[in-house]
Structure 1
Amino acid sequence: MTAPTSAPSTLIRPFNVAIPDSEIEDLKRRLANTRWPNPETVSDWSQGVRLENVKSLVDYWEREYDWRRFESELNRFPHFQTAIDGLDIHFIHVKSKNPNAMPLILTHGWPGSIVEFLKLIGPLTDPVAFGGNVEDSFDVVVPSLPGFGFSQKPSDTGWTVSRIATTWVELMKRLGYRNWAAQGGDWGAVVTTALGAMRPEGLLGIHLNTQYVFPAQIPDTLSDEERYAVDTLALYAGDLGGSNHVQATKPGTVGIALADSPAGQAAWIYEKFQSKTDNHGLAEDALSTDDMLDAISLYWYTNSAASSGRIYWENKSGSLAGPKLALPVAVTVFPRDIPRPPRSWIENTYANVIYYGEADKGGHFAAFEQPEILVNEVRAGLRSLRSLA
């Protein structure tokens, strides 16, 4: 059903993750020499990350965190690079042993990366080994967005989500796939939605755990669900939107600070994990310290704070009122996502909703927080598309 129509392109090169010892030593020196500010003047997170919490995280990063452990974990998967539209695009590509597996491209967001999908790869490619059915097998492609991780940093402007989506189409073609599906959350959902709007030949359908479906004009009369959506949007764009606004306007300015200070890079990302995960007050309720530092370390070692932040600058005219889509769309709503739209707006924006799921726990970073739930939702959401291939 989904076997490549041709051998993978010779333009695809194997890639191995290998951070030099000197960079690891440099990181530890910088962490040990961090100059800290005075503490916040409030008892909550309303002024940003709390000093005592980020100090604890940074101390663990310096003294206990093991990058080589994570590097070995990364290298258990086959990594590749290929040049598309003038950039070297990095990606993980894991094929299922099932010849009828459905090809699926997973796209991360910010401050996400390939890290958030690592726990999904095994269950998606080998469902039987994880208590699933062989019929739900996927070939998995996990690219790093341009300017993120091990993908090359753009040296020109114009890397909009539509351009990224076009790059993903070429990537799947280059891998030899005729029919495939796509999944994403956060910026990954924006790219996946752009794919859905383009509807390139071979794209069977998409699964979204972030849905951009807000009406261009908010109605005067709102249901309770719609009111909650509007309230969470106000929080997302207001008190929680500081980093988004800075990166949409001056990514290079903050990028210099983050490129020079690992403690600053840690705080910049840690605050997002605290404010947008399904937790009881601390990010550590939703994500382990090692998981968070895996993600933060990838940003640090690839020096991608500024280049990743530019995705906001390139797409700052975007709206949470996404395009109306006609292709098959599966969605899963996570209870602590922010903003969280109601089902009525989802079904009004997507004409062909083939699956609607509501998870019982999880926040904005669904793949990272609740990989098992998201795996089951992707399986269920895209199952009906297999007959179309």
Structure 2
Amino acid sequence: MSQDSPSADEEFARAIREWLADNLTGEFAKLRGLGGPGREHEAHDDRLAWDRHLAAAGWTCLGWPKEYGGREATLSQQVLFHEEYAKANAPARVSHVGEELLGATLIAFGTEAQKQRFLPGIKSVSELWCQGYSEPGAGSDLAAVSTSARLDGDQWTIHGQKVWTSLAHVADWCFVVARTEPGSVRHKGLSYLLVPMRQPGVDIRPIVQLTGTSEFNEVFFDGAHTDADLVVGDPGDGWRIAMGTLTFERGVSTLGQQIGFARELSEIVELAERNGAADDPVIRSKLTRAWIGLRVMRAHAMRTLADVDAGTSGGPASVSKLLWANWHRGLGELAMEVMGASSLIADGAADNGGLQELQRLYLFTRADTIYGGSNEVQRNIIAERVLGLPREVRV
């Protein structure tokens, strides 16, 4: 994956491993393992401080060009960072949306003025971002968005509603896909706007999840504004920009995600050995299949990332999403089987909604095959864009 010598990658991995060992101490030691999907409420302010500590040491935005504050790390070095970070059980990043999604999008498609304005704040974690894609009538079908924006002088005026907006309640900015050409349909006439969240006309309402926590939100735009030049790409070109962001979303960080999955699987195996569930040949077979599935995911991710053009057609990224989402949802179900009757009793910590950790895993993973692009949409993308099958009839 890298043209650098193996020793260069080994040195890079050693450097991040040692830095994490030296810095995940003191006040930061208590953050190990905190945060992530379904647990974003955990120690948010302390994890934000950790992110800024990472930034001050130069461990954010590794793949960015040096002119924008990055290290120009190779793809293999970025993979190594995420893997070492996960192995250290370091806390989930608060700044993921800005760094991994919006930052990469601006570098690829933004104007120089937009890069100079926003990239430093992302790099230093002084400004947080959220993603304004899904709507009540346009969940995984992004082309059906109805949120509108009209250019009035030197500002866009925005009306509409977004839903399932992760961490909107702590975000300073949102990148919003809105319909800017009246009468346009589907992917035509959309624009990709950068919108400040802390202004009149923006109403954020938390959505209580099955886990009892609220990291998702509804966001209502009622006459909110943003400057005319804060459109990424040309007006009406938002579909192309949005697809670019989705490609970045399924990048190297997935390797770190898989290490977290492996840790969850290990906990389930250990429980099965303690409570005797592993003696059941059916459960033992399912645990084995789960381990095999994890290895398949890693092999697919490494093969996909090795191709610098991976994901441009939507196919490899969609296969990856289907792989991990279905595997992880199945892992949650397997956890309940291993727990047995105790899975029905919520006697966990109060700050975890009374849920035991594996119960929380099960409940949150029910959403894995929906958010980030539902299974149905991913299969359509593969069928139409990769296999060349006829498009699904839309009514």
TM range (shorter): under 0.3
Q: With CA pairs under 8 Å and 6+ residues apart, which has the higher RCO, 1 or 2?
A: 1
Computing the radius of gyration over CA atoms, which structure comes out larger, 1 or 2? 2
Structure having the larger proportion of residues in helix: 2
> Could you tell me the TM-score, scaled by structure 2's length?
0.24
